[in-house]
Amino acid sequence: MLLIGDTEAVGDSTDILQRLQKLAGRTFHGTTDPKLAGEANLWEEFADTSLSGFLVSARWADERNWARFRDTAFSSLPGPLRRLIGGRLRKRIVKGLVARDVWRAGPEVCWRRFQELLDSLEARAPEEGFWLGTFSAADIALFSQLFSLRQDLTPWQRDQVAARPRLTRYLDRVDAATRGPHTASEAQPRTPVT
C-alpha cells in the first residue's frame, strides 16, 4: 500500500508503479518507447500474479517452511498466540491460494509448475544486462519475487532458484544494481520481507 498525501491510497503493485512514474514525471526504464513500456508492464504483471502465488505458497502453504515462516513473521507474539493467530491467518491465505488456482491441485502440482516456470525463466534470462536490455520495472518486479524465494525461510525454493545458473546470475546483477554505491560483496545481506 502506498499512501500519497493524506487521502490517496494505492494498493496494487502495478498501480503503485504507474503512480510513482507519473509523480516522478518519467518511466523507470528511461525511455518513451511504448513497446518497451508495454513489455515492462507485462513482466511486472506476470511477477505480481504468477510468481507472487508461488512466494505466498512457499511461506504460508508449504509444510516444509510453515513453522519457520510463522515463527519469524510472528516473532513478537508469545508462542501460543503465534500458533493460534498464525494458524488462523494461514487457513485464510491457503484458501485464497486455492481460489487463485495456485494450490488447488496440492503441493506436488504447485511445485512442479514452479519448477517448470523457473525453467522457462532460466531459458529467457539474459546472459548480460537486464531483462529487457535496459534496467526497467520488469527487473524490479521479477527480482522482488525471486529474491524473496532465495531466502533461508524457504530452503527448497531457494535451492530451486539456485539450480538455474543463468537466472541466478541475472538476479545477482539486479541485486548489485539496486544496492546503491556499494558493491554486492560489500553490502550487508538483505533480509526477507515477511
| Residue 141 near residue 48 (C-beta atoms within 8 A) | yes
State residue 31's pLDDT score.
66
Query: What single letter denotes the amino acid at residue 133?
Result: G
In three-state form (DSSP H/G/I as H, E/B as E, the rest C), the secondary structure along 72-110 is: HHCCCCCHHHHHHHHHHHHHHHHHHHHHCCCCCCCHHHH
For 132, the 3-state DSSP assignment is strand
User: pLDDT tens digits, the chain, 194 residues: what are they?
Assistant: 556 667 777 666 777 777 777 777 776 666 678 888 889 989 999 999 999 999 999 999 999 999 999 999 999 988 889 889 999 999 999 999 999 999 999 999 999 999 999 999 999 999 999 999 989 889 999 999 999 999 999 999 999 999 999 999 999 999 999 886 654 444 445 554 44
Q: Which CATH architecture has domain 2-178?
A: Up-down Bundle (1.20)
Rounded to two decimals, what is the model's pTM? Answer: 0.82
Q: How far apart are CA 190 and CA 25, in angstroms?
A: 30
State residue 34's pLDDT score.
86
